[in-house]
Amino acid sequence: MRDNMKPCQHTLSDDVIYKEVVVIGNGPSGLVTSFMLAGNVPYLKREIPEDLPIDEMLRARLLNLPPGQNLLETDLMELAEGLEGRSQNPFPLLMDNLLRPCADLGFHADPLIEWKYDVEKQVEHVVLGRGPPGGAWHSFPAELRTLSPAAWLALPPHASVCADTGSPSSPPPAPAGARRGRLLPPLRAPLQPAGPYLLLFIPFIYL
């Protein structure tokens, strides 16, 4: 049978671009992954509010970390141990507790982590998607409303992009829910460097 096999006739073109990482999907998860691969690193804030009723074991573990600790250099499985929530995956539960502490209790608390740009942490990558950035959001009816407050849907670094100017700004207080039409304009606006954060969510390849 091997004698009957024909040699492969496919050849690579001269314009092939090689990347260290290929992210499949340009929905919210792909955007956050790209944000981190672009050199944006999560660091633990130096103070955790004493009146914030986060998980006590998580609080104890966070307090044992040096102030300003790079979370990528910690044992995330140990930090996430014992956390409960809507996911069986410990990492989303940990990020929910750090990015939206006590959100399920109705608190609008600041994140317990902050993002810092480090050029040495950049990883060459490309994000592949079937359409514009945002993934399935673009297929939803404009009048569709979310069950969660709009603030829960913000992506790092927790800045919204003004539809008029295309510049980052602090988001206004979020309503109880958000319309799909209100969430999409930031994803349609050009993604450009924002201060120390290089929003390298591009290039996108539309398949």
191-206 tens-digit pLDDT: 443 333 333 333 333 3
Which of 45-59, 65-79, 136-150 has the weakest average pLDDT?
136-150
Instruction: Judge if 28 and 45 occupy the same domain.
Output: no
pTM: 0.64
Residue ending a domain, among 73, 91, 117, is: 117
Q: Which domain holds residue 182?
A: 1-39+118-207
Instruction: Judge if 206 and 148 occupy the same domain.
Output: yes
pLDDT of residue 167: 38
Which of 7-11, 103-107, 136-140, 165-169 has the weakest average pLDDT?
165-169
Cα–Cα separations (whole angstroms), residue 101 to 47, 48, 115: 14, 10, 16
- Average pLDDT of the chain? 72
Residue ending a domain, among 117, 134, 155, is: 117
Question: Which value, in Å, is the radius of gyration of the alpha carbons in the chain?
Answer: 20
Instruction: Judge if 135 and 100 occupy the same domain.
Output: no
Instruction: Judge if 104 and 202 occupy the same domain.
Output: no
Which bin fits 116, alpha (ψ -120 to 50), beta or left (φ > 0)?
Answer: beta
Overall domain count for the chain: 2
**H-run or E-run covering 136:** none
